[in-house]
Structure 1
């Protein structure tokens, strides 16, 4: 893991470990920290709590909430709840069937003001229930799984061929084909319209880099 680094006003990023998914595919991971109006931190989405990362986060302030942006991002939630028993869990409703053992304190729904300082767009698909966030102070859009940009040298052999065909390793952020097929076209069009209204500057991907500029154009192309 790498340490915390500032992305913009009230937002930090940290790279997590590489995780192994279905059929042996590996995914680089990234988390973000958002500063709430009361000074508490929201962790999006929590990566495993490595000792150095936990210390760096605690130096910034108390953890107010754990934010699971997708029903697929839940592996580290139990560990963080044990470390931060007072932290609330914010998640889309789609997480509940996958993790009935986790109590969702803040259900995330489209248009809600549940995440301080952020705009919310909920995207439902046959693969996952995901919340796309726009952190207003830094003009940063945060995307968990719907858009990815994994380095091409991450995979070898047949996995490299599948990843390229799926657009996981495209040279620019793209929506993988499996998500493009699972998300209705109307939902993609609505998300594009919302992003135009947000007029973001930065793009932070859980599975890809942080783009410091040009987020609106990158997202528009990724969702077409």
Structure 2
């Protein structure tokens, strides 16, 4: 895991191919108040990732920012059943096998209200993207169009 902003934001890149083309995938980890961790765009969960996360805090929120970041959610549900799972608009209809706790909108949930900013980026026919901003580090956090 690579630290982006001291004691606040980390990321982990995972190799990923789409139609045989290497596009990669990135998960971002944000430390909220009380050492709660928000996982943005969860990637394939490994023991290495779980150990790294346990050193940073408690996984409390798992966010899928668009319709393409759902492939590994089942692994995260099994490993972190206490976490709140947030779906991007439309994802609950796409993944009817999963039960999400909340759907993201342009309104911040109480879990990170006052710590992060978010809005729904509209205009794409295929998917709406929920984008985040961390005012402390002045970092814009976006999902990628892939992995799936």
Q: Does 1:6 align with 2:40?
A: no
Q: Could you say which residue in structure 2 is the equivalent of 1:134?
A: 133
What is the deviation of 1:82?
0.5
Q: Could you say which residue in structure 1 is the equivalent of 2:43?
A: 47
Q: Could you say which residue in structure 1 is the equivalent of 2:66?
A: 70
What is the deviation of 1:24?
2.8
2-structure distance, mates of 1:11, 1:20: 25
Alpha-carbon RMSD across the aligned residues, in angstroms, is: 1.8
What is the deviation of 1:57?
0.6
Is the contact between residue 95 and residue 129 of structure 1 (CA under 8 Å) also seen in structure 2?
no
Q: Does 1:15 align with 2:13?
A: yes
The partner residue of 1:89 within 67, 85, 91 is 85
The partner residue of 2:116 within 115, 118, 124 is 118
Q: Does 1:143 align with 2:139?
A: no
Runs of 4+ in 1 over 6 A off after TM superposition: none
Q: Say which SS state the counterpart of residue 54 (structure 2) adopts.
A: helix
Q: Could you say which residue in structure 1 is the equivalent of 2:21?
A: 25
Q: Could you say which residue in structure 1 is the equivalent of 2:34?
A: 38
> Gaps (5+ residues) in structure 2?
none
Higher Cα Rg: structure 1 or 2? 1
Q: Could you say which residue in structure 2 is the equivalent of 1:170?
A: none
What is the deviation of 1:106?
2.4
Is the contact between residue 41 and residue 63 of structure 1 (CA under 8 Å) also seen in structure 2?
yes
Greater relative contact order (Cα < 8 A, sep 6+): 2
How many residue pairs match? The answer is: 142
Is the contact between residue 118 and residue 132 of structure 2 (CA under 8 Å) also seen in structure 1?
yes
1-structure distance, mates of 2:68, 2:25: 13
Counting strand residues as a fraction of each chain, which structure ranks higher? Answer: 2
